[in-house]
Chain A
Amino acid sequence: MSIADTLTELETRAAALLDDAEDAEALETARVEFLGRKGALAGISKEMGRLTPEERAQVGRLLNGVKQNLEARYETRKAGFERAALDARLAGEWLDLTLPAPGPRPGRLHPLTQIMRELEDLFTSLGFAVVDGPEVETEWYNFDALNIPPAHPARDAQDTFWMEDGHLLRTHTSPVQVRAMERFGAPLRIIAPGRVFRNEELDASHEHTFYQLEGMMVDRHVSVGHMLYFMKSLLAAIFGREVTVRLRPGFFPFVEPGFELDIQCLLCGGKGCPVCKQSGWVELLPCGLVHPNVLRAGGLDPEEWNGFAFGLGLTRLVMMRYGIDDIRHLAAGDLRFLRQF
């Protein structure tokens, strides 16, 4: 039998063994037998020395062809076995992804914080500074500077917590108006969100501690028309839709003229429903042009400067937005409540 015939026969046998190997081990045995350093092909190439140069070239080409063929078969089968082994291993790693995931989840920010942040961002985008004021205030900032002198009946409307040292808990965020004018002068655009206090018995709709947002713009030539425009834009941003507003007279000593601003009921669109007590309007916030005495208290000349101010009840806004029926939830710290926001 010629070498060529031997090669052909060997190729057939080896191909069958490689192709039919049952597992990676049998494949490896076949590889060693034929393709290994001491394998059948190596044996044949050793015998090539006995051939004539012509034969050698011919057999050499033949040998290379067989070798490449067998190596390719080997690689294909090897990859197949490796894939199968990996598949088998991974199949064993089956995981029940319906299992609950361990570890803490992000906590929630208090709903009041959330609404404050939202409004702070909104006002900042409108060029307003966000200013803080103290919870414990002087009588001067809380009342006198806001044109509420001692014995003014308006003091009755705001049941005040007094401190033993003669200070008080601010009854509104309005004292920040005067503090801000003193600090920043004019022109001025500020909001002051924060905690305020009224000496009231606690029930589902009354709290001794709640949150307001004071707003103030001071400039030359600020008009009622400016205020209306601003309020309408602001409320459209807060409620995420166009709102219809109206002003009616309201008495607050620190503004003149003073207004109650109503918005057309968002629930019934003004037709009348239980929420707006059939009136079509919902009272939303007090506002007005800053009283000259308040500007003076803030160190500004009312002939040169004027402005508007408003007070937004944040607690009420939160309750309206989420339909919260009991104000006491807000300070109760109950996770069943807080986790809803």
Chain B
Amino acid sequence: MKFSYEWLRELVPGLDVPPAELTARITMKTAECEGVESFAPWLERVCAARVIEVTPIEGSHNVVARIDAGPEFGERQVVCGAPNCRTGLVTAYVPAGLSLGSRQIRRALVAGHDSDGMLASGAELGINRDAEGVLELPQDTAPGTAVAAPDWVIEVDNKSLTHRPDLWGHHGMAREVAAFSGLPLKDPVDLTLVPAAGHEWTVEIEDFAAAPRYSALVFENVTVGPSPAWMQARLEALDLNPISNIVDVTNLVMAELAQPMHAFDLDKLHGKKIIVRHAKEGESFAALNGESYTLAPRHIVIADESGAIALGGVIGGAGSAISAGTTRIVLESANFDAATIRKTSSELKLRTDASMRFEKAQDPVNTTRALARAVELFQDVSPGIRLVGGLIDAWKPAPAPAPIELPLDWLDQKLGLAVPAERVRAILESLEFRVEEARPGVFAVHVPSWRATKDITIKDDLLEEVGRVIGYAEVPLEAPLQPVRRPWVNRERLYHHEVREMTAAQGFTEVSNYSFVSEEMARRFGFAPDDHLRVANPISIEQGLMRLSLLPGMHRCVTENAKRFDEFRLFEIGSEIHKRAGALPDEIPHFMAALYRKQGDGSAALLELKRLADCLLPGAAARPAEARGYEHPARSAEVVWRGETLGRLYELHPALLEAGRAAVLDLDLRKAFEMGPEPKRYTPLRRFPGSSFDLSVVAGLRVLAGDLIASIRAATGECCDAVEYLYSYRGQPLAEDRQSLSFRITVSAADHTFSNEELTAIRNGVMDALRAQGFDLRA
């Protein structure tokens, strides 16, 4: 929302603060300003001039114009290319030496003739968008007088105004400025200009909840033409496109009082009744913007006998628009339900200056104020205009809300500052709240209608009013007194951090991938898109599904980094999102590590990840598992910890990589956390040293070392301390389908050291057991 600095100054007489300072104060007291910019500073020097004589230039569309530019500039000669440059025209003169923004105006020879300055169009001056010809000013404009005034435009962040319907007009902002500057506020409205007597036209509202009020006036003897340059400049400064005197007045009143208005050409309406009703299903509506909309009953239309003439609170209709020939108008000033307008406008993707205001919950009391202001302005811009009859109005006023009780000790306590009662009263009254003393120490505060629609309903809202006007810089800092209490400990989160640190210490770098995957990514890894929770409104297909696995994201990181690095280690902790019918999805925290190497056969990487699993889950075992589609068909295992399957260890299917190999470890961190660390228990240290012996077992090529270790352990029995894998061997003298696996077995007893005889007996026992299982043993 843009505010004119000069306009605010008109509404707050005596305001004498430079634009930048005012902008800073508004930011500190009311709403965040995004900046302040100078508007058309050249207008200071641009003046009206009368064309005395026009001489065509042969072979050029330009003419030489002799002008009277008033007392300061006197008679000048300019070369002008505008088609409307004619003798007697009163237009805008830009003296040489002035710059219009980036355009420097110089005295120069144009088409062989001296041109001392220039005549300018509204667009060149920046006061409207008309570039067809030079600006046409009223004949009675005295040469030398200013065309319009320069200004400063303060831009306020719309997000900081969503709760303030009143700040969508200058008068509302002026009230703020007056309040925090300690100055009086000028009310531009003279309500006596709206006679109460009605009119032969009537209004009927079908649903007062959707449209609480509809007020209108009828005017005749209207002349449609351009509005005065000052008005156009003001609208242009605020980005409101000047159109015609009648439309410009409706926009100016909106910019001043936050009340959107609309003027209909009465002669294009049918009947003598305005009906505010829900649209019919499929009702078609041609809007002012040239678009056609298909409506539904949840939309509100303004209709006459023949059909919709406006989309209520959003936009007027094409069929009843003001045109050059309009002589009679109906001027609408209505009020609509905020939620209805917001829904309509977002559904039809049609945001207008009107809908933006109505969706903030405008004040129904304001409709007649806006009409009164328009009556006054019409008289200036359309001389001879006549009001016919008086106010046409349909309104079911809501009962005034009960006053809000404001206990002053509560206010002091919550603010952390003792504010004298009289100061509280003065602040609230400067914002036009009515303050009574309900009982000692408690104010009863009546909320003005323009703050009562939604903004202010509870005492906390009043606290903010008082606090911001005083300024929070006055509030002394105070340490909160809190009982000493140990906070709840989020052990699961701490566990994740431990896993992160352990993994990083092993050389892995953390990545943070999106929670989204695309359908294509999901399919590539064999995940069915329909198993995923779907995003209903993704911006791109990349965000179509919620991830069911960290793998697609990790795969992307691996392939991207593989373009630059021959070897690297990555990991991520993030949630898998599993949809559940009728409930929030199950978000399961997972850990995934990946080790990529461009060279080698990939086996070392898998074993390194197995070691990582063992670091994170001490004693974790890998149990060969049937490979999934994205896994190397012969290199895939489940990770088993204390009897529970916690994840998978595998090599990524090499077809998923352009080059190199990637090993992947995927763990369910929730399960790991819930199982908790293995309980720690002390066992007395053995007093007698252990003894060890080595065995080499000849076995088939796919016999698992893990199985052999388990067999050896079982065969050794209770005295077994450790079975350590040493190495494996293939080749002579073994058969081609045989390998030899060597182990070192350590045994000990609690009460003595084994003798050689005992050791031999144990060793023979183990060998016998292994032979019984069909294994050969090498010496």
Contact = CB atoms under 8 A, between A and B. Distances in A.
Given A136-B587, A189-B487, A256-B463, A223 B413 contact: yes
A138 B584 CA distance: 7
A338 interface: yes
Given A112-B512, A259-B472, A162 B584 contact: no
Interface in A215-265: 217, 219, 221-226, 228-230, 232, 246-251, 253, 256-260
Contacts of A112: 512
Contacts of B473: 246-247
Interface residues of A, number: 86
A335 B508 CA distance: 11
B536 A110 contact: no
Contacts of A109: 500-501, 504, 510
Nearest to B473: A246
Interface of B: 24, 27-32, 159-164, 338-339, 342-343, 346, 359-360, 413-417, 458, 460-461, 463-464, 467-468, 472-473, 475-480, 482-490, 492-493, 497, 500-501, 503-516, 533-539, 543, 546, 553, 556-557, 560-561, 564-565, 568-571, 575, 577, 579, 584-585, 587
Nearest to B507: A104
B414 A249 contact: no
Contacts of B467: 224, 257
Contacts of B577: 135-136
A223 B587 contact: no
A-B pairs, top 8 by smallest CB distance, nearest first, are A225-B416, A104-B507, A257-B464, A223-B416, A333-B557, A151-B339, A107-B509, A247-B472
Contact of A184 (B476, B488, B543): B488
Nearest to B24: A279
Contacts of A335: 509, 561, 564-565, 568, 570
B514 A331 contact: yes
Which of A167, A219, A221, A335 has the most chain B CB atoms closer than 10 A to its own CB? A335
B534 A153 contact: no
A165 interface: yes
Contacts of B557: 333
Given A107-B569, A110-B511, A338-B510, 15 more contacts: A104-B507, A128-B487, A134-B584, A151-B343, A161-B543, A162-B535, A164-B534, A169-B535, A199-B537, A225-B478, A246-B28, A248-B28, A249-B464, A257-B460, A338-B509
Contact of B561 (A160, A292, A334): A334
Contacts of A30: none
Contacts of B417: 224-225
A163 B479 contact: no
A199 B539 contact: yes
A97 B512 CA distance: 37
Given A104-B569, A151-B339, A229-B477, A134 B507 contact: no
A292 B476 contact: no
Contact of B537 (A107, A161, A259): A161
A121 to B, nearest CB: 10
Contacts of A150: 339
A256 B460 CA distance: 6
Contacts of A113: 497, 500, 510, 512
A330 to B, nearest CB: 7
B476 A107 contact: no
A289 interface: yes
26 contacts: A106-B504, A107-B505, A107-B508, A108-B504, A108-B509, A120-B493, A127-B484, A135-B575, A153-B338, A161-B537, A167-B533, A208-B514, A221-B413, A223-B413, A251-B160, A251-B164, A253-B163, A258-B464, A259-B472, A331-B514, A333-B553, A333-B570, A334-B561, A335-B565, A335-B570, A338-B510
Interface string A282-311: 000000010110000000000000100000
Nearest to A104: B507
A249 B431 CA distance: 16
A247 B489 CA distance: 32
Contact of B510 (A107, A135, A228): A107
A109 B511 CA distance: 8
Contact of A222 (B342, B480, B487, B585): B480
Contact of B538 (A106, A131, A161, A222): A161
B79 to A, nearest CB: 42
Given A136-B546, A331-B514, A249 B468 contact: yes
B413 A127 contact: no
A105 interface: yes
A136 B513 contact: no
B29 A333 contact: no
Contacts of A169: 515, 535
Given A164-B533, A248-B32, A110 B510 contact: yes
A13 interface: no
A236 to B, nearest CB: 12
Interface in A153-175: 153-154, 156-157, 160-165, 167, 169
A172 B570 CA distance: 28
B480 A219 contact: yes
A137 interface: yes
Contacts of A209: 514-516
A124 interface: yes
Contacts of A46: none
Contacts of A151: 338-339, 342-343
A130 interface: yes
B724 to A, nearest CB: 23
Contact of B414 (A131, A187, A224): A224
Among A129, A134, A256, A338, the one with the most B-chain Cβ atoms within 10 Å of its Cβ is A256
Contact of A333 (B477, B492, B513): B513
Nearest to B556: A333
A50 interface: no
B19 to A, nearest CB: 14
A127 B569 CA distance: 36
Contacts of B585: 134, 136, 167
Given A132-B490, A250-B160, A335-B561, A165 B533 contact: yes
Contacts of A161: 535, 537-538, 543
Nearest to B159: A157
Contacts of B342: 151, 153
A128 B490 CA distance: 11
Which interface residue of B30, B164, B488 has the most chain A CB atoms within 10 A?
A: B488
A89 interface: no
A113 B513 CA distance: 13
A153 B356 CA distance: 9
B515 A195 contact: yes
Given A199-B537, A219-B482, A153 B360 contact: yes
A278 to B, nearest CB: 10
Contacts of B514: 208-209, 331
B497 A117 contact: yes
B184 to A, nearest CB: 23
A157 to B, nearest CB: 5
A131 B493 CA distance: 9
A200 interface: yes
Given A107-B509, A110-B511, A189 B482 contact: yes
Contact of B476 (A136, A162, A208, A225): A225
Contacts of B533: 136, 163-165, 167
Nearest to A302: B460
A223 B476 CA distance: 10
Contacts of A226: 416, 478-480
Contacts of B161: 251
A201 interface: yes
Nearest to B579: A165
B746 to A, nearest CB: 28
Contacts of A160: 537
A229 B30 contact: no
B617 to A, nearest CB: 19
A321 interface: no
A38 interface: no
Nearest to A217: B480
